[in-house]
């Protein structure tokens, strides 16, 4: 390819290990949501920190965007950048809403007591708003949890991913390393505000979210602040790492980095010892562990075809799995709630079935919908 436009359309070599780590983190989210429906005596011991995979996704996004686009702005417009990001993200965003619609009325129960009475026309209206990435106020909640994306919870993170893309295109791409380092340091202070309950602005009042980065999926001032804090440090830190370009190379880098992610999400909740201990753990993960994992993932090499196939598979699966699994989790939650006295073996069997259903639907969405749609968009939209 010789023209400027075609050069712009070319893709750089991918960080295969980072793709694989995205898949490992996505699996951690699914396991976390499978256990979330059980009493705290159980859920705080089994994959209780899976929610931190969301923060890790933002860190991955910062590093990958910086690597992929920082040196292309001499031949790429802002609109051209947005077209590429829309092509990558929006097809699965639409499918996430569609899957949420299909499963919505199957997830009623004592916890989701508003589902059965939710008007179908309001459901369709909210689906249209979510496809357009418009967050829903609590007054439009149709499920009863107050989520800003009550048809399919994880879509809220995609909204903030778009916020990060906009900030990058309009501002962060122009910043030098020194300015970006200052931004990262300021964002680290905000992360400490959440984890250590410093309450610098007097806005951390939700008793259910003390000494933690968790939250952000409710449309109110505190949770919007939480979401922005969860976004800003990981994303800007990943972007800074991409510009520094000094990574850690270790043998078996994918295995090492994957074990670090598993250790993070599987560590039992430390709030039983002290809420501050839990906050310190989460702060250390975000400020220290995330950069180490990213550096290993970007600096190490895959060894052998088997490792490459694993990274490719879980990497391809990661986004579809993350964005489509939660409607199945709503149903799983409702089943658990009405069958809490069922034998342990039955709970394990139903959990495995829910997990396999999530993976199967995600893979089908990827191969039958997402890849063909993105290929069509690349051919008929991006190349214009």
State the Cα–Cα distance between residues 36 and 191, nearest whole angstrom: 24
Residue 262's pLDDT is: 96
DSSP per position, 22-75:
HHHHHHHHHHHHHHHTS-HHHHTTSSTTTTHHHHHHHHHHHHHHHHHHTT-TTS
Measured between alpha carbons, how far is 211 from 213 in angstroms, rounded to an integer?
Answer: 7
Output the pLDDT for position 11.
61
The CB-side HSE value for 194 (13 A sphere, CA atoms) comes to 29
Contact 196, 211 (CB under 8 A): yes
H or E, element range at 247: none
Q: Which residue's structure tokens are 């793709």?
A: 19
Q: What is the pLDDT of residues 226-238, one digit of tens each?
A: 999 999 999 999 9
Q: What are the C-alpha distances in Å from 351 to residues 234, 291, 355? A: 31, 33, 6
3-state SS, residue 236: helix
* Span 166-187, pLDDT tens digits: 999 999 999 999 999 999 999 9
Rounded to whole angstroms, the maximal C-alpha distance in the chain is: 66
pLDDT of residue 17: 94
Domain residue spans in the chain? 49-302
Residue 7: pLDDT band (50, 70, 90) is very low
* Residues 326, 152 contacting (CB under 8 angstroms): yes
Angle at 163 between CA 140 and CA 226, to 5 degrees: 65
Conformation bin of residue 344: beta by default, left when phi > 0, alpha when psi is -120 to 50: alpha
CA distance 300 to 313: 19
Which 3-state string (H, E, C) describes 72-114?
A: CCCCCCHHHHHHHHHHHHHHHHHHHHHHHHHHHCCCCCCCCCC
* 41-55 mean pLDDT: 92
Which of 161, 105, 162 has the alpha carbon at shortest distance from 327?
105
Percentage with pLDDT > 90 across the chain: 81
**Above 70 in pLDDT, residue 3?**
no
Q: Inform me whether the pLDDT recorded for 103 exceeds 70.
A: yes
Q: Are 33 and 41 in contact (CB under 8 A)?
A: no
Output phi, psi for 146, to 5 deg.
Answer: 75, 15
Residue 10 — pLDDT band, cuts 50, 70, 90? low
Name the one residue in this structure whose structure tokens are 């092509």: 87
Cα–Cα separations (whole angstroms), residue 179 to 50, 65, 291, 294: 32, 18, 19, 21
C-alpha 48/C-alpha 36 separation (Å) is: 8
Tell me the two tokens of residue 35. Answer: 């256990």
pLDDT digits (tens, 9 = 90+) for 308-329: 899 999 999 999 999 999 999 9
Q: How confident is the model at residue 156 (pLDDT cuts 50, 70, 90)?
A: very high
DSSP assignment of 266-316 equals HSPPGGGT-HHHHHHHHHHIIIIIHHHHHHHHHH----SHHHHHHHHHHHH
In the block, residue with structure tokens 């300015």: 179
| Residue predicted with more confidence, 4 or 302 | 302
Distance, in Å, from the CA atom of 118 to the CA atom of 107, rounded to the nearest integer, reads: 12
Say if residues 339 and 346 touch (Cβ distance below 8 Å).
yes
Instruction: Assign residue 197 a region (left: φ > 0; alpha: ψ between -120 and 50; beta: otherwise).
Output: left
Per-residue pLDDT at 4 exceeds 50: no
């Amino acid at each position: 390819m010789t023209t400027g436009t075609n050069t712009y359309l070319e893709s750089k070599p991918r960080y295969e290990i980072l793709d694989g780590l995205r898949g490992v983190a996505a699996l951690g989210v699914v396991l976390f949501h499978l256990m979330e429906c059980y009493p705290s005596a159980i859920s705080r011991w089994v994959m209780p920190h899976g929610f931190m995979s969301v923060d890790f996704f933002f860190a991955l996004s910062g590093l990958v965007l910086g690597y992929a686009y920082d040196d292309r702005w001499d031949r790429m417009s802002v609109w051209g950048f947005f077209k590429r990001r829309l092509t990558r993200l929006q097809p699965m965003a639409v499918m996430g809403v569609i899957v949420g619609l299909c499963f919505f009325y199957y997830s009623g129960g004592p916890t989701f007591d508003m589902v059965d009475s939710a008007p179908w026309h309001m459901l369709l209206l909210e689906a249209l708003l979510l496809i357009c990435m418009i967050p829903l106020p609590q007054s439009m909640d149709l499920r009863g949890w107050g989520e800003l994306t009550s048809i399919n919870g994880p879509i809220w993170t995609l909204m903030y991913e778009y916020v990060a893309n906009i900030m990058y295109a309009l501002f962060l791409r122009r910043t030098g390393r020194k300015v970006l380092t200052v931004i990262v340091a300021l964002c680290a202070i905000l992360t400490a505000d959440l984890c250590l309950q410093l309450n610098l602005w007097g806005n951390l009042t939700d008793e259910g979210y003390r000494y933690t980065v968790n939250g952000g999926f409710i449309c109110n001032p505190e949770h919007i602040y939480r979401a922005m804090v969860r976004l800003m440090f990981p994303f800007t830190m990943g972007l800074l790492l991409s510009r520094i370009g000094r990574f850690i190379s270790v043998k078996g880098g994918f295995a090492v980095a994957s074990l670090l992610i598993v250790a993070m999400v599987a560590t039992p909740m430390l709030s039983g010892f002290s809420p501050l201990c839990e906050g310190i753990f989460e702060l250390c993960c975000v400020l220290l562990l995330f950069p180490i994992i990213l550096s290993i993932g970007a600096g190490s090499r895959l060894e052998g075809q088997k490792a490459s196939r694993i990274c490719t598979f879980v990497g391809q699966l990661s986004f579809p799995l993350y964005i489509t699994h939660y409607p199945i989790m709503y149903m799983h939650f409702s089943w658990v709630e009405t069958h809490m006295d069922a034998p342990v073996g039955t709970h394990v069997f139903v959990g495995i079935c829910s997990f396999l259903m999530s993976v199967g639907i995600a893979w089908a969405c990827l191969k039958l919908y997402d890849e063909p749609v993105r290929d069509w968009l690349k051919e008929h939209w991006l190349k214009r």
